[in-house]
């Protein structure tokens, strides 16, 4: 099956710092989505981004499908950004999303 790798696995930031999270995938995908899992376990949609670049406030994402990776940028981090960030890719058969193992982000004041 498809492999989805995220890096780094853990990240600790001072409030106000910027960061880049990476998602590599091993095969061609139909779509890619980024999620934030907050400390209460809820999965929050961040970006639905099969290709190109999108921005939403302090967050932006870029997917380069031909090179099989996606990047999530967090600028001016806040303590509320803490949690685990997942990318998930959809392969071309049915509605099957495969998740990476996530990046655990801790933002300290």
Partner 1 sequence: NAGVTQTPKFQVLKTGQSMTLQCAQDMNHEYMSWYRQDPGMGLRLIHYSVGAGITDQGEVPNGYNVSRSTTEDFPLRLLSAAPSQTSVYFCASSYSEGGEQFFGPGTRLTVL
Q: Which residues bind partner 1 (CB under 8 A)?
A: 1, 4, 30-31, 33, 35, 41-43, 45, 48, 86, 88, 90, 92, 94-102
Kindly give, in sequence order, each residue whose CB lies less than 8 Å from that of residue 41, ignoring residues fewer than 6 positions away: none
Nearer Cβ to partner 1 (18/43): 43
Nearer Cβ to partner 1 (30/62): 30
Residue from 32, 31, 30 nearest 6 by CA: 32
CA–CA distances in Å: residue 3 to residues 25, 56, 76, 83, 87 = 6, 27, 31, 22, 12
Report in angstroms how near the CB of residue 43 gets to partner 1 at its nearest: 4
Report in angstroms how near the CB of residue 65 gets to partner 1 at its nearest: 13
């Amino acid at each position: 099956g498809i492999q989805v790798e995220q890096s780094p696995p853990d990240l600790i930031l001072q409030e106000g710092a910027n960061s880049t999270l990476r998602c590599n995938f091993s095969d061609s995908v139909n779509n890619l989505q980024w999620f934030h899992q907050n400390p209460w376990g809820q999965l929050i949609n961040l970006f639905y981004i099969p290709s190109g670049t999108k921005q939403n406030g302090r967050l932006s994402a870029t997917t380069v499908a031909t090179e099989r990776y996606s990047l999530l940028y967090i600028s001016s981090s806040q303590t509320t950004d803490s949690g685990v960030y997942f990318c998930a890719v959809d392969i071309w058969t049915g509605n099957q999303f495969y998740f990476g193992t996530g990046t655990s982000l801790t933002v300290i004041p």
